[in-house]
Amino acid sequence: MAANPMTQFEVYRIGPEIKIGTFDISFTNASLFMVISSLAILIIFNLGSKKNSILPNKIQLLAELSYSFVSKMISDTAGSKAKPYFSFIFSLFMFVLFCNMFGMIPYTFTVTSHIIVTFVLASFIFIGVTVIGFLKHGFGYLKLFVPSGVPVILLPLIVVIEIISYLSRPISLSVRLFANMMAGHTMMKVFGGFVISLGIVGGWLPLSFSVALTGLEILVAFLQAYVFAILTCIYLNDALNLHH
């Protein structure tokens, strides 16, 4: 039934069932939109970097503005040491942004509204940052859990809290993005359903609400991609510049 606001999140197989061993890796609508988002990013940025003119054309300007935007974001939050991770954070930001934005088109699928996708991304970031931290500082990285200037009596409690907050980073990072995307899309679907059920007489109010929500959701789509990227930068900053 189309009126159910959750049906939009259903994953279904496109094409034949592909299996490697016992694992089902069939091409689904989620895979389709991952491929579309990646391709769109590659096409846009390839066009934007193809020829270099002193006065950039629109697509070149877009590519260069996003480049300097992400570059500035990284240098502001994680400093100059984070330069080698620029392309990863750039790809991450663009991937999440494009997945969110493609989800805003009616009848599409929002890849980032699935907890498993955001959780895999967040876990990868978490594991990567932890590995970088231990490689850079050895066991000194554990000092991250011992903030300076804390009374000795409070120290055991603070260390436990710090460890819990550190371990919950992948969960908070993934759930933030997933919950935002799911809630927004569900709400839009609900208001869309109200338009149908209230008909021509009363449907205008939820319709106008739906229009306003679309604007809000586009803002949220950008904002969540930005938050995702900037939190990655902050975690990376903790691992690179240990100053607790």
Residue 26 CB, nearest approach to another protein (Å):
5
The reply to whether 131 sits near another protein by the rule CB under 8 A is no
Q: Report how many residues bind another protein under the rule CB under 8 A.
A: 50
Interface positions, 44-83, toward another protein (CB under 8 A): 45-46, 48-49, 52, 54, 60, 63-64, 67-68
| DSSP state at residue 20 | E
Strand (E) positions, 67-111? none
Nearer to another protein (CB atom), residue 114 or residue 169:
114
Instruction: Please work out, in degrees rounded to the nearest 5, the angle formed at the alpha carbon of residue 9 by the alpha carbons of 199 and 41.
Output: 110
Return the amino acid letter for 70: V
The reply to whether 223 sits near another protein by the rule CB under 8 A is no
Nearer to another protein (CB atom), residue 120 or residue 157:
120
> What backbone phi and psi angles, to 5 degrees, belong to 74?
-70, -45
Neighbouring C-alpha atoms within 13 Å toward the C-beta of 192: 16
> What backbone phi and psi angles, to 5 degrees, belong to 210?
-65, -40
Instruction: Please work out, in degrees rounded to the nearest 5, the angle formed at the alpha carbon of residue 112 by the alpha carbons of 107 and 113.
Output: 70
Chain residues binding another protein by CB under 8 A are 1, 4, 6-7, 9-11, 13, 23-28, 30-31, 34-35, 37-38, 41-42, 45-46, 48-49, 52, 54, 60, 63-64, 67-68, 86-88, 90-91, 94-95, 111, 113-117, 120-121, 178, 182
